[in-house]
């Protein structure tokens, strides 16, 4: 909802009135004892298997042709699970492994009632790369049958199916998916009790750490009193922290989580200042002031690490709005992938990843690899689709408006085309994760997890509180 506000000098401003945060400062008072964390850590270590995952997967990959030949009676669920896990770790398993479940008319009718097989096949499709046309058919086939089978399945399985149809594993936050699977696995008759206990202990241990960090972050935010001082900006510290958990969910990623969450809040304030509050004259002075910053070695950093770039792009968008100019879609995108804040957030994250991000990794990033381009595109397009469906900002140019204006199509048609672009971008990211890779899997997963976080926000009730930029 828009409201008119008065600037201290009398200038009228039309502001978006964002919903207040529903959490307030409640998390600032959270506490947990160090002894609790230590207790969980000891139990986890006692249950942890010592076998190397990569080593085991390599053995499976080598043995896969024999395992899946026609003489072996591997069911669809087994094949799809193997395909999914191996691809997640960069092994380029051929999609031909699913040919044994097809006949001349498409997929065999005998698998139409195989609930777990269809569900695993459905999840596997989201790891596809370009040229795998079989998966275009698979998505339609599996979704159609799963939606029918939901009503015929047990409540335990039906709930898991509905979750998967709403948010596939490969496009969601890993810790969220871990919780969903723990709940599902606990209801399985064939469950391994030791494995289940290990999963619960590990999950609860990390949750305690998250609570500790969120409490510290909330106190920092409360002490700054930004919500009161900058009343026009969104108060979203809890959402910012959840964003940070997406790409940095491991216990050892604490510093990256904290820095990323803080940078997101700062970016949100800057974005709202440009989009919602300041006049064009004030923005011109503000942008010029930041351009004059000369903090030691900052000018020696590569372009993607400079906060100035994001501020410039925000100013360009403010000028477009002020002038009533609607750029071409490609022109908007060149600016929009910067204004969305992807690179500024990444720079903050990398401070906490010094043992992973070195000279080789920075050189790789400067080549603007496909996985980075794709993550930026998904962030920009999905962000704008959700923003226009949720909180409304000033009626300035957006990717949707630019595309509709340039191509003379409806909003619905533009969204349809954007979704196709995003699907191609996911295939680009999947391809860049296939072995051999130029950089560590941790760095590749960082980019994947940024896109996953956005997909998660859009698919949940948190949509109405998203950090639109």
Q: DSSP letters of 14-83? A: EEE-PPPPSSTTGGGG----HHHHHHHHHHHHHH---S-HHHHHHHHHHHHHHHTSTTS---HHHHHHHH
Residue 348 and residue 450: Cα distance in Å, rounded? 14
The pLDDT tens digits of the residues spanning 229-274 come to 888 888 889 989 999 999 999 999 999 999 999 999 999 999 988 9
Q: Cα torsion for 315, 397, 452, 341, to the nearest 10°?
A: 0
Domains assigned to the chain: 2-29+210-465 (1.10.600.10), 50-166 (1.50.10.130)
Note the Cα 144 to chain centre separation in Å: 26
pLDDT-based confidence at residue 276 (cuts at 50, 70, 90): confident
Report, as an integer, the average pLDDT of 145-167: 94
- Contact assessment for residue 468 and residue 390, using Cβ atoms and an 8 Å cutoff: yes
- Contact assessment for residue 239 and residue 259, using Cβ atoms and an 8 Å cutoff: no
Note the Cα 170 to chain centre separation in Å: 10
Say whether pLDDT at 284 is over 80.
yes
Residue 230 and residue 228: Cα distance in Å, rounded? 6
Residue 414 and residue 410: Cα distance in Å, rounded? 6
- pLDDT (0 to 100) of residue 435: 93
Q: DSSP letters of 361-400? A: HHHHHHT--HHHHHHHHHHHHHHHHHHHHSS---S---HH
- Residue 10 corresponds to which tokens in the numbers above? 């009398």
Distance (Å) of CA 435 to CA 15, 245, 432: 49, 26, 8
Residue 15 and residue 276: Cα distance in Å, rounded? 6
3-state secondary structure of 356: coil
Cα atoms in the 13 Å half-sphere on the side-chain side of 124? 31
The pLDDT tens digits of the residues spanning 20-73 come to 777 777 788 777 777 777 777 777 776 665 757 778 888 889 888 877 776 677
| Residue percentage of the chain with pLDDT more than 70 | 87
Distance (Å) of CA 415 to CA 382, 384, 386, 399, 401: 9, 10, 10, 10, 10
By CB atoms closer than 10 A (0-12, 13-18, 19+), residue 398 is buried
The pLDDT tens digits of the residues spanning 373-417 come to 999 999 999 988 887 544 445 557 899 999 999 999 999 999 999
Cα atoms in the 13 Å half-sphere on the side-chain side of 327? 19
- Residue 342 corresponds to which tokens in the numbers above? 């992807």
Among 391, 468, 467, residue whose Cα is nearest residue 18: 391
Residue 125 and residue 168: Cα distance in Å, rounded? 10
- pLDDT (0 to 100) of residue 331: 97
Residue 299 and residue 305: Cα distance in Å, rounded? 10
- Residue 67 corresponds to which tokens in the numbers above? 């395992």
- pLDDT (0 to 100) of residue 48: 67
- pLDDT (0 to 100) of residue 305: 38
The pLDDT tens digits of the residues spanning 407-464 come to 999 999 999 999 999 999 999 999 999 999 999 999 999 999 999 998 998 887 554 4
Say whether pLDDT at 303 is over 70.
no
């Amino acid at each position: 909802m828009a409201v008119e506000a008065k600037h201290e000098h009398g200038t009228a401003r039309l502001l978006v009135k964002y919903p207040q945060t529903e959490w307030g400062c409640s998390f600032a008072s959270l506490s947990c004892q160090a002894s609790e964390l230590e207790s969980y850590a000891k139990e986890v270590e006692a249950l942890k298997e010592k076998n190397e995952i990569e080593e085991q997967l390599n053995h499976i990959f080598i043995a896969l042709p024999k395992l899946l030949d026609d003489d072996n009676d591997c069911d669809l669920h087994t094949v799809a699970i193997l395909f999914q896990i191996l691809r997640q770790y960069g092994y380029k398993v051929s999609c031909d492994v699913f040919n044994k479940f097809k006949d001349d008319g498409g997929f065999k009718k005998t698998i139409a009632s195989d609930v777990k097989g269809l569900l695993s096949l459905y999840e596997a499709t989201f790891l596809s790369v370009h040229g795998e046309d079989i998966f275009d058919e698979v998505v339609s086939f599996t979704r159609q049958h799963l939606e029918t089978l939901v009503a015929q399945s047990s409540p335990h399985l039906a709930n898991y199916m509905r979750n998967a149809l709403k948010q596939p594993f490969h496009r969601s936050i890993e810790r969220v998916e871990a919780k969903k699977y723990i709940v599902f696995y606990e209801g399985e008759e064939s469950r391994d009790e030791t494995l289940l206990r290990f999963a619960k202990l590990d999950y609860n241990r990390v949750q305690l750490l998250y609570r500790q960090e969120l409490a510290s972050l909330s106190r920092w935010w409360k002490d700054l009193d930004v919500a009161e001082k900058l009343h026009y900006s969104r108060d979203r510290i809890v959402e910012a922290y959840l964003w940070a958990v997406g790409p940095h969910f491991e216990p050892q990623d604490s510093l990256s989580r904290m820095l990323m969450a803080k940078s997101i809040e700062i970016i949100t304030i800057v974005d709202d200042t440009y989009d919602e509050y300041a006049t064009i004259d004030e923005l011109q002075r503000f942008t010029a002031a930041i351009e004059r910053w000369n903090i030691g070695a900052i000018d020696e950093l590569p372009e993607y690490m400079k906060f100035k770039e994001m501020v410039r792009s925000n100013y360009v968008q403010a000028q477009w709005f002020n002038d009533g100019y609607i750029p071409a879609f490609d022109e908007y995108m060149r600016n929009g992938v910067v204004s969305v804040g992807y690179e500024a957030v990444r720079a903050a994250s990398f401070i906490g990843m010094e043992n992973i991000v070195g000279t080789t990794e920075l050189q790789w990033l400067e080549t603007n690899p496909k996985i980075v381009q794709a993550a930026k595109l998904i962030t920009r397009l999905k962000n704008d689709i959700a923003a226009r469906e949720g909180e409304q900002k000033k009626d300035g140019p957006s990717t949707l408006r630019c595309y509709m204006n340039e191509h003379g199509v409806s909003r619905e048609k533009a969204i349809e085309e954007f979704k196709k672009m995003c699907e191609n971008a996911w295939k680009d990211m999947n391809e860049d994760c296939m072995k051999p890779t130029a950089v560590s899997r941790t760095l590749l997963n960082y980019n994947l997890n940024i896109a996953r976080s956005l997909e998660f926000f859009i698919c949940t009730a948190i949509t109405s509180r998203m950090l639109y930029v």
